[in-house]
Structure 1
Amino acid sequence: MDLTWEIIRWVLLGIIIINELAAIFTVFREKRDIAATWAWLLVLTLIPVVGFIIYAFLGRKPTHRRLDRIKSQTRLKLKEAVDRQRKQFRNMPKPRFSIAQVYRRTIMLFQSIDESFLSRHNQVDIFTNGDQLFAQMFDDIAAAKKSIHVEFYTIYNDQIGNQLRTLLEQKAAEGVEVRVLYDSWGSMGVKPSFYANLRDLGGYATPFLMTRSNIFDFRINYRDHRKIVVLDGKIGYVGGFNVGDQYLGRVPKFGPWRDTHLRVVGGAVFGMQRQFIGDWNASVKKDASRIIHYHPYFPEIKVPNGNTAMQTVASGPDGELEKIKMGYLRLINAAQDHIWIQTPYLIPDDSILDALRVAAHSGIDVRIMIPCKPDHPFVYRATQYYARALANEGVTIYTYQRGFLHAKTIMIDGRMASVGSANLDFRSFKLNFEINAFIYDHRITDQLEQIFVNDIRNSRVMTPARFNEQSRWLQFKQYFSRLLSPIL
């Protein structure tokens, strides 16, 4: 008996040693930031064997071959126009510090890191309700004459998903070019055969970058989280809504769905079109399916009533720079009066966290609104941890009570704003492919801020005292989830 237990003890010790060595080798063989490295070491060492199963889903990066497919694809950079804009900004007399100076520096940042074209004359409409958004979007799709480009993280096989598919099939039958790009994990349960009739009618549909089956490619990280619709190269949609019944408030678990999406008419659509073409060409396998001749997709656009200046900025793990995060930092650091943020996931890295702390301690009115309920337990507990930490630094924290808050918006001083797909978390900064619109217009920013004010009426202020009333067990889950925040 003693010999048996001795053998078991040595076997267990051997497993632990092998597990530790394998954990070190697995984590350090790929380049990642130090916070993510330690978080994965924690998972792999504290949960032997099972930790490696979790790593298979959450930790593996896309293959270099796949990332190279994105980097090597010809992107329409609008380089000539961007270079011309850069020269104009450099030659302009430098004004004294003003909001114009803030515009200038933010614009130059995106021109430098993303070759993002500044479009000065756009017409922008804001949607916060899914029924109204999809009614307008479907009207625009029905009116499209030449091309329909659709890219979403999620397109479900449900009522609204089938309505979209049927409409796209009708347009393909009319001879309109229809291309659909979807994320295979975000659209889990939707088989390629869902688009079989669309393909038979001359349309195209393909999953983003990954293989066609999650059975053979079960990475949860590094997903296409972008939401882009471009119609005839003239009308564009970008924001937080996906295509699914839950985004119209039809799923009891989430209740009413509160999100923010933009409809854009004008030159800013070029940035969305450029990104779609790059993503599409990187994802399709056959040369015949790629978009080769770009000119027809960038028509001349005249918008008599367009007066909104904006840039579209994309980021993802295919680049070294965290472009949208850098944009968030630029906006936060430029604030002189107030910073209002809505995000479903508040898991900032140290740079964003410190910027918000500095702003709050500098007398700037910093307000952050998060959901009152989770859709991902660990993510929500980490969000609560950081909300508590920021509340203790003087940031006003609201929890939205009327359903699920999914909007990703930042408003600065009533002058500048950002709306898009990127949350205020590690995943959006480092792991996912995202796109945001950065807006330089006090009228649109004022509308977004009025929406924020209206949402306050359906929210609860979470003071430090209220956070302290939470149970010890809940606080423990928040602290533990915070340790995993770099990989959530």
Structure 2
Amino acid sequence: MILERSRSGVHRAIFGRATVIALLVAIQAVFMIMIFDVFSKNVPYVFGGHMVFALMITLVIINRPGNPQMQLPWVIITLISPIVGGLLYLFVETHPGQRILEKRLEALYKETEKYIQQDEGVLERLEKEDVGTANMARYIRRHGNHFVYENTEAVFFPLGEYKFQAMLEELEKAEHYIFLEYFIVEKGEMWSRILEILKRKIDEGVEVRMMYDGTCAFNYLPYNYPKEMEKIGIKCKMFSPIRPVLSTHYNNRDHRKILVIDGKVGFTGGVNIGDEYINRKEKYGHWKDTAVMLKGDAVEGLTQMFLQMWNVTERKENYEQYLPGVKEKKSKDLGFVLPFGDSPFDAELIGETVYRDILDRAEKYVHIMTPYLIIDDLMVASLTYAAKRGVDVKLILPHIPDKKTPFALARGHYRQLLKAGVKIYEYTPGFVHAKIFVSDDKKAVVGTINLDYRSLYLHFECGAFFYQAPVVYDVEADYQKTLEQCEEIKLGDGKKWPLSQRIVGKLLKVLAPLM
């Protein structure tokens, strides 16, 4: 029986649709490169003309708005091979599929604007507490269509298994609808327990929608899994399913993790649906992850984000059923909560801006957990400036990596940060997947946003920003507890690391924005 299962798994790996799709996309990519190469060798031109073309493309690249470090790899590729690099850059920048998706998302933001608005009284009270934080909230409102709320309880989960238990309890209470949006959904104990409840809730008349990222078809779920879910009554779809057509928008994944129940309860954070996230399965030692549960007005923000992403491929939505959210007055002052999303298709880096705003205005400390550290000069400047002016800046990263190359790139940043006074720790029991910022016992962010180019520039992300909320103390308390399980990295420690790791960290830094 075990042998049969093994053969079945090998057969799926070799002949499965995801494998075929990956192969076909790879063939198209190779074919394009061959065409570019043949074109470059056979079209009559003089050496000078070749260089003029390279210069023209380079000027186009460096004059486009954006981060110069995101542009540098394209400049290098173009100068090495003008025809291949130049035409590939033009293909990436002008691909119509991405533009169509961008326009659709703009329309969706406008559609939801009419259903929820900023409570100006909340913003005025925030301004009385902290003008700078109120200004950041205005920026997010103006450029992301996300709002700041009061009247919201927040519960912090220092491990994925705690979030999982709370999820099960809250799912059991669902009466009207359940929305799930996750980067990864993988079969196992966690998903089986959730699915069991969802089936019962469907029988009770609860509406269930589920969306997960299309890359799951490569490793975690069958390509036709949405159809399987439809059969049991779950409205299910993949975001940007991978098809055998070469396209640049496949680079922009839905990395969000959102669960909304009846508009009353919402979850977000780093925890996907998979057994390693709740330490039922060990991959890279102990899995350190975090999440947060919201109850109250701010759940409306998570509902809005889910509906916007869900309707990318839909043309009709009854928003009145879900927005505005449920308002239930809480008995005490719970501070301010700002759920926010980030999109790769606008000109704003909302996730990075929130992080840098915390760093640039910190007075005493900024404590950070992140699985990856592949950052641009702007983020390096904020981290080092905070440390140099006396702010206690600490970073907790994994000691057991899930991917060797990102780990090497992360360690490639250590020396510069350590020299500036940033303190770096590695979580010795295993892998850190948490994405948190906490500062000055006043501010915290719990969400999905890693400190790497993919999260900050290329993926759809989300998080919850807290100001003067009780949950901030819980986040900091967990940070201090986690530090006890970490090894502090000293300036000379890099000499002990494998030479290959140090070389990779330096050589690939220039290409990191494209990885």
Q: 1:23 to 1:442 in 2, by over 3 A?
A: same
Q: Which has the higher helix share?
A: 2
The CA distance in 2 between the partners of 1:404 and 1:214, in whole Å, is: 32
More displaced 10-residue stretch of structure 1: 429-438 or 464-473? 464-473
Q: 1:343 to 1:135 in 2, by over 3 A?
A: same
Give the corresponding residue for 1:142: 172
- Aligned partner of residue 82 in structure 1, secondary structure: coil
Q: 1:186 to 1:414 in 2, by over 3 A?
A: farther
Give the corresponding residue for 1:194: 225
Conserved in 2, the CA contact under 8 Å of 1:181 and 1:280?
yes
Q: 1:479 to 1:180 in 2, by over 3 A?
A: same
Give the corresponding residue for 2:244: 215
Within the alignment, does 1:330 sit opposite 2:361 as a pair? Answer: no
More displaced 10-residue stretch of structure 1: 218-227 or 255-264? 218-227
Give the corresponding residue for 2:466: 439
Within the alignment, does 1:453 sit opposite 2:480 as a pair? Answer: yes
Conserved in 1, the CA contact under 8 Å of 2:164 and 2:278?
no
Give the corresponding residue for 2:273: 243
- Aligned partner of residue 253 in structure 1, secondary structure: coil
Conserved in 1, the CA contact under 8 Å of 2:334 and 2:469?
no
Q: 1:267 to 1:292 in 2, by over 3 A?
A: closer
Q: Post-superposition shift, 1:336?
A: 0.6
Within the alignment, does 1:316 sit opposite 2:340 as a pair? Answer: no
Q: Amino acid of the residue matched to residue 439 of structure 2?
A: I
User: How large is the RMSD of aligned CA atoms in angstroms?
Assistant: 3.5
Q: Post-superposition shift, 1:271?
A: 0.6
Conserved in 1, the CA contact under 8 Å of 2:215 and 2:242?
no
The CA distance in 2 between the partners of 1:294 and 1:156, in whole Å, is: 30
Q: Superposition pairs for residues 392-407 of structure 1, below 5 Å?
A: 392-407=419-434
Q: Post-superposition shift, 1:411?
A: 0.8
Q: Post-superposition shift, 1:428?
A: 1.4
The CA distance in 1 between the partners of 2:471 and 2:388, in whole Å, is: 28
Within the alignment, does 1:280 sit opposite 2:310 as a pair? Answer: yes
One of 103, 107, 120 as aligned partner of 2:137: 107
More displaced 10-residue stretch of structure 1: 37-46 or 255-264? 37-46
The CA distance in 1 between the partners of 2:77 and 2:279, in whole Å, is: 35
Structure 2: give runs of 5+ residues left out of the alignment. Answer: 1-36
Conserved in 2, the CA contact under 8 Å of 1:206 and 1:283?
no
Q: Amino acid of the residue matched to residue 64 of structure 1?
A: R
Q: Amino acid of the residue matched to residue 282 of structure 2?
A: P
- Aligned partner of residue 111 in structure 1, secondary structure: helix
Give the corresponding residue for 2:369: 342
Q: Post-superposition shift, 1:139?
A: 1.8
Q: Post-superposition shift, 1:354?
A: 0.7
- Aligned partner of residue 163 in structure 1, secondary structure: helix
Q: 1:15 to 1:150 in 2, by over 3 A?
A: farther
Q: 1:372 to 1:11 in 2, by over 3 A?
A: same
Conserved in 2, the CA contact under 8 Å of 1:185 and 1:214?
no
Q: Amino acid of the residue matched to residue 432 of structure 1?
A: H
Within the alignment, does 1:382 sit opposite 2:409 as a pair? Answer: yes
Conserved in 1, the CA contact under 8 Å of 2:296 and 2:326?
no
More displaced 10-residue stretch of structure 1: 297-306 or 24-33? 24-33
Conserved in 2, the CA contact under 8 Å of 1:79 and 1:115?
no
Conserved in 2, the CA contact under 8 Å of 1:312 and 1:435?
yes
- Aligned partner of residue 119 in structure 1, secondary structure: coil
Q: 1:171 to 1:197 in 2, by over 3 A?
A: farther
- Aligned partner of residue 396 in structure 2, secondary structure: strand
Q: Post-superposition shift, 1:414?
A: 1.3
Q: Amino acid of the residue matched to residue 310 of structure 1?
A: V
Q: Post-superposition shift, 1:133?
A: 1.4
More displaced 10-residue stretch of structure 1: 10-19 or 372-381? 10-19
Q: Superposition pairs for residues 354-369 of structure 1, below 5 Å?
A: 354-369=381-396
The CA distance in 2 between the partners of 1:178 and 1:253, in whole Å, is: 31
More displaced 10-residue stretch of structure 1: 380-389 or 225-234? 380-389
Alpha-carbon displacement from aligned partner over 1:93-147 (angstroms, at most 9, x marks no partner): x7xxxx6344433333333333332211211111122222112102211210001
Q: 1:245 to 1:58 in 2, by over 3 A?
A: farther
The CA distance in 2 between the partners of 1:43 and 1:450, in whole Å, is: 46
Q: Amino acid of the residue matched to residue 120 of structure 2?
A: R
Q: Post-superposition shift, 1:215?
A: 3.4
Conserved in 1, the CA contact under 8 Å of 2:263 and 2:326?
yes
One of 95, 99, 109 as aligned partner of 1:64: 99
Structure 1: give runs of 5+ residues left out of the alignment. Answer: 1-9
One of 170, 176, 189 as aligned partner of 2:200: 170
- Aligned partner of residue 484 in structure 1, secondary structure: helix
Give the corresponding residue for 1:257: 287
Conserved in 1, the CA contact under 8 Å of 2:175 and 2:206?
yes
Q: 1:294 to 1:224 in 2, by over 3 A?
A: same
More displaced 10-residue stretch of structure 1: 468-477 or 220-229? 468-477
Identity of aligned residues (%): 24
Q: Post-superposition shift, 1:308?
A: 3.5
Q: Amino acid of the residue matched to residue 113 of structure 2?
A: K
Q: 1:47 to 1:177 in 2, by over 3 A?
A: farther
Give the corresponding residue for 2:326: 299
More displaced 10-residue stretch of structure 1: 14-23 or 198-207? 14-23
Q: Post-superposition shift, 1:22?
A: 9.1
Alpha-carbon displacement from aligned partner over 1:138-162 (angstroms, at most 9, x marks no partner): 2211210001000001111333223
The CA distance in 2 between the partners of 1:11 and 1:187, in whole Å, is: 34
Q: 1:102 to 1:66 in 2, by over 3 A?
A: closer
The CA distance in 2 between the partners of 1:430 and 1:418, in whole Å, is: 18
One of 55, 79, 82 as aligned partner of 2:118: 82
The CA distance in 1 between the partners of 2:431 and 2:413, in whole Å, is: 19
Q: 1:14 to 1:80 in 2, by over 3 A?
A: closer
How many residues are treated as equivalent by the alignment? 468
Q: Amino acid of the residue matched to residue 118 of structure 2?
A: V
More displaced 10-residue stretch of structure 1: 421-430 or 465-474? 465-474
The CA distance in 1 between the partners of 2:357 and 2:473, in whole Å, is: 19
The CA distance in 1 between the partners of 2:179 and 2:90, in whole Å, is: 32
The CA distance in 1 between the partners of 2:212 and 2:50, in whole Å, is: 37
- Aligned partner of residue 130 in structure 2, secondary structure: helix
The CA distance in 1 between the partners of 2:384 and 2:430, in whole Å, is: 29
Q: Post-superposition shift, 1:374?
A: 2.3
The CA distance in 2 between the partners of 1:226 and 1:196, in whole Å, is: 22
One of 244, 248, 255 as aligned partner of 1:225: 255
More displaced 10-residue stretch of structure 1: 373-382 or 235-244? 373-382
